[in-house]
């Protein structure tokens, strides 16, 4: 293959195995950061506070830090594997090379569902925000939220369709805005820059742990919401200019950003809002940072955090469309799903058929199901995915020990992160069981049925040896 020049601008992404049209390699580490943090930051603006309702403010802080440990393990493990298996599809491709096809199919579905459900949740929230703004602006009749929900999904899908660089640059700008809004709120209300309004001790008095120890466990369910989606950075692997460097850097910078944002969010919100109000995300505080800004008495802060909330939901939905379509595309390309989905747009260089196909799916969820249900499905799919990761890294290190292949990043202290992650996943399964046991069983029932369908029907269309694309030696023990 002598006619291939990887530095060529026009032939970029087109390679020796017959790829005539491939995804475009244009992204840098900042885009990876924007993709990871952009998806998650909405969790700081809304949703995390359900953890307060589950066990009180202290329980939410403990859940915040334990979930932080869980996600730090996720980020470390992901960084190592994905800096080596750099391909669209992320964890799906990792599972295919390390554990096996059926696991990969399941992981691919976890990804698509976690992101599509999250996208739907974001669109519902954005529609709600428009209705709040309308009523604040003095509109009497209840606003029809549906056109705004549909518009959010349509606009972001269109943006994704037209190219990845514009999509993630847009994400970078609005994510940075939303993050800075949290920092400004913290500086303005904590007393560091004068005029503090924090009164943690007075607000916690008599309500330190309203449910006792079990409340802390229960809070882990929504503790995940502080960080859910950071693992999505791996989906950009085929579109970053240097995956081995940009992916670990963007992912680890992302998790650090989120640890800061999550702790600051807890600090300002719990220091101003009583826990019963803060913890009820339906009848009480739908958008806790926005409510904190309202109580600060500053109109500028109200506007800042209002826009921060809207931008965070848009950034999240945008990143979700990007990630879900990459995972769907990667599965189509391997014939795990109909091969028709494995197409790349010759001009925009995006997986356009997957993007278009997932639009009506997101609309069904956004218009047809209640918000907490959609969020729970997203969390459950994510949780199943995190349970897969420790198995993944243990087998990865066993089949290809450190010296056998070149890794872009090696995470320290193996297997401590893997074991920690597995333990925390167990705790979170129990927390989900306390509130949503039926959905958990229904969800797993669904995955069992789909797995049988894949193993006994769908897998016949898949090439056996050719789906293993990494230039690695034979795994140990085979």
Residues 404-443 binding other proteins (CB under 8 A) are 429-430, 433-443
Q: Please, what is the minimum distance in Å from the beta carbon of residue 185 to other proteins?
A: 17
Burial code (b: 16+ CB inside 10 Å, e: under 16) for 50-78 equals bbbbbbbbbbbbbbbebbbebbbbbbbbb
For position 267 contacting other proteins by CB under 8 A, the verdict is no
Q: Which of 245, 339, 367, 423 binds other proteins (CB under 8 A)?
A: 339
Q: Which of 210, 250, 319, 408 binds other proteins (CB under 8 A)?
A: 210
Contact 292, 270 (CB under 8 A): no
For position 139 contacting other proteins by CB under 8 A, the verdict is yes
The piece of 247-255, 302-310, 411-419, 449-457 that touches other proteins (CB under 8 A) is 449-457
Q: Which of 49, 83, 106, 316 binds other proteins (CB under 8 A)?
A: 106
Contact 47, 281 (CB under 8 A): yes
Q: Please, what is the minimum distance in Å from the beta carbon of residue 370 to other proteins?
A: 8
What are the φ/ψ torsions at residue 240 (nearest 5 degrees)?
-90, 150
Q: Please, what is the minimum distance in Å from the beta carbon of residue 253 to other proteins?
A: 23
Select from 69, 54, 117 the least CA-distant residue to 376. Answer: 117
Q: Which of 232, 243, 382, 417 binds other proteins (CB under 8 A)?
A: 243
For position 280 contacting other proteins by CB under 8 A, the verdict is yes
Q: Please, what is the minimum distance in Å from the beta carbon of residue 203 to other proteins?
A: 6
Q: Which of 10, 17, 194, 403 binds other proteins (CB under 8 A)?
A: 17
Q: Based on CB atoms, which residue is closest to other proteins, 255 or 431?
A: 431
Q: Which of 177, 211, 267, 307 binds other proteins (CB under 8 A)?
A: 211
The piece of 27-35, 177-185, 313-321, 450-458 that touches other proteins (CB under 8 A) is 450-458
DSSP for residue 27:
B
Rounded CA-CA distance 435/349 in Å is 43
Q: Based on CB atoms, which residue is closest to other proteins, 184 or 203?
A: 203
- Residue 27 β-bridge partners: 240
For position 464 contacting other proteins by CB under 8 A, the verdict is yes
Select from 347, 377, 345 the least CA-distant residue to 361. Answer: 377
Q: Based on CB atoms, which residue is closest to other proteins, 19 or 404?
A: 19
Q: Based on CB atoms, which residue is closest to other proteins, 183 or 208?
A: 208
Q: Based on CB atoms, which residue is closest to other proteins, 243 or 308?
A: 243
Rounded CA-CA distance 405/454 in Å is 31
Q: Please, what is the minimum distance in Å from the beta carbon of residue 424 to other proteins?
A: 15
Q: Please, what is the minimum distance in Å from the beta carbon of residue 433 to other proteins?
A: 5
For position 449 contacting other proteins by CB under 8 A, the verdict is yes
Q: Which of 132, 276, 410, 420 binds other proteins (CB under 8 A)?
A: 276
Q: Which of 163, 165, 198, 274 binds other proteins (CB under 8 A)?
A: 274
Q: Please, what is the minimum distance in Å from the beta carbon of residue 436 to other proteins?
A: 6
DSSP string, 136-154: HTT--SPP--HHHHHHHHH
Contact 111, 233 (CB under 8 A): no
Q: Please, what is the minimum distance in Å from the beta carbon of residue 220 to other proteins?
A: 13
Rounded CA-CA distance 173/169 in Å is 6
Residues 18-37 that bind other proteins (CB under 8 A): 18-23, 25
Q: Which of 69, 132, 367, 391 binds other proteins (CB under 8 A)?
A: 391
Select from 208, 245, 228 the least CA-distant residue to 406. Answer: 245
Rounded CA-CA distance 437/377 in Å is 12
Handedness of CA 40, 41, 47, 48 (dihedral sign): positive
Number of residues that bind other proteins (CB under 8 A): 141
Q: SS3 letters for 428-465?
A: HHHHHHHHHHHHHHHHHHHHHHHHHHHHHCHHHHCCCH
Residues 150-209 that bind other proteins (CB under 8 A): 150-151, 154-155, 157-158, 161, 199, 202-203, 205-207
Q: Based on CB atoms, which residue is closest to other proteins, 230 or 366?
A: 366
Residues 296-315 that bind other proteins (CB under 8 A): none
Q: Which of 137, 194, 403, 412 binds other proteins (CB under 8 A)?
A: 137
For position 3 contacting other proteins by CB under 8 A, the verdict is no
Rounded CA-CA distance 71/258 in Å is 10
For position 114 contacting other proteins by CB under 8 A, the verdict is no
DSSP string, 148-205: HHHHHHHHHHHHHHT-HHHHHHHHHHHHHHHHHHHHHHHHHHSSTTS-----HHHHHT
| 204 burial level (CB within 10 Å; 0-12, 13-18, 19+) | middle
Torsional class of 163: left (φ above 0), alpha (ψ -120 to 50), beta (otherwise): left
């Amino acid at each position: 293959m002598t006619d291939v020049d990887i530095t060529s601008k026009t032939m970029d992404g087109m390679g020796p195995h017959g790829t005539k049209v491939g995804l475009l390699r244009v992204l840098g580490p900042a885009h990876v950061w924007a993709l990871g943090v952009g998806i998650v930051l909405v969790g700081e603006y809304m949703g995390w506070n359900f953890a307060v309702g589950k066990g009180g403010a202290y329980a939410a802080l403990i859940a915040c830090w334990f979930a932080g440990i869980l996600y730090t393990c996720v980020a470390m493990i992901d960084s190592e594997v994905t800096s080596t298996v750099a391909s669209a599809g992320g964890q799906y491709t990792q599972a295919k090379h390390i554990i096996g096809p059926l696991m990969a199919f399941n992981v691919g579905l976890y990804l698509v569902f976690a992101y599509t459900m999250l996208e739907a949740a974001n669109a519902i929230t954005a529609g709600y925000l428009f209705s709040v703004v309308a009523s604040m602006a003095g509109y009497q009749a209840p606003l029809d939220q549906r056109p705004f929900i549909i518009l959010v999904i349509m606009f972001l899908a269109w943006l994704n369709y037209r190219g990845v660089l514009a999509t993630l640059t847009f994400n970078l700008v609005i994510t940075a805005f939303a993050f800075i809004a949290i920092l400004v709120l913290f500086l303005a209300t904590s007393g560091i820059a004068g005029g503090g309004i924090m009164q943690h001790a007075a607000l916690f008095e008599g309500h330190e742990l309203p449910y006792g120890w079990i409340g802390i466990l229960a809070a882990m369910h929504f503790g995940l919401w502080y960080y859910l989606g950071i693992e999505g950075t791996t989906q950009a692997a085929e579109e970053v200019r240097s995956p081995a460097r940009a992916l670990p850097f963007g992912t680890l910078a992302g998790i650090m950003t989120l640890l800061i944002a999550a702790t600051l969010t807890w600090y300002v919100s719990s220091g101003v809002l009583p826990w019963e109000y803060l913890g009820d995300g339906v009848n009480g505080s739908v958008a806790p940072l926005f409510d904190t800004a309202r109580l600060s008495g500053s109109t500028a802060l109200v506007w800042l955090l209002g826009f921060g909330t809207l931008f965070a939901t848009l950034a999240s939905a945008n990143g979700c469309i990007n990630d879900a379509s990459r995972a769907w595309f990667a599965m189509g390309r391997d014939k795990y799903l109909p091969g028709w989905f494995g197409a790349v747009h010759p001009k925009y260089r995006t997986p356009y058929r997957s993007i278009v196909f997932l639009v009506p799916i997101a609309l069904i969820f956004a218009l047809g199901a209640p918000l907490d249900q959609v969020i729970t499905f997203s969390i459950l799919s994510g949780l199943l995915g995190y349970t897969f990761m420790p198995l993944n890294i243990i087998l990865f290190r066993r089949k290809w020990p450190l010296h056998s292949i070149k890794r872009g990043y090696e995470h320290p202290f193996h297997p401590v992160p893997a074991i920690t992650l597995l333990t925390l996943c167990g705790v979170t399964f129990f927390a989900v069981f306390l509130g949503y046991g039926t959905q958990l069983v229904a969800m797993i029932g669904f995955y069992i049925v789909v797995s049988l369908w894949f193993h006994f029907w769908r897998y016949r269309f898949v090439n056996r040896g050719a789906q293993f694309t990494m230039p690695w030696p034979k795994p140990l023990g085979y």
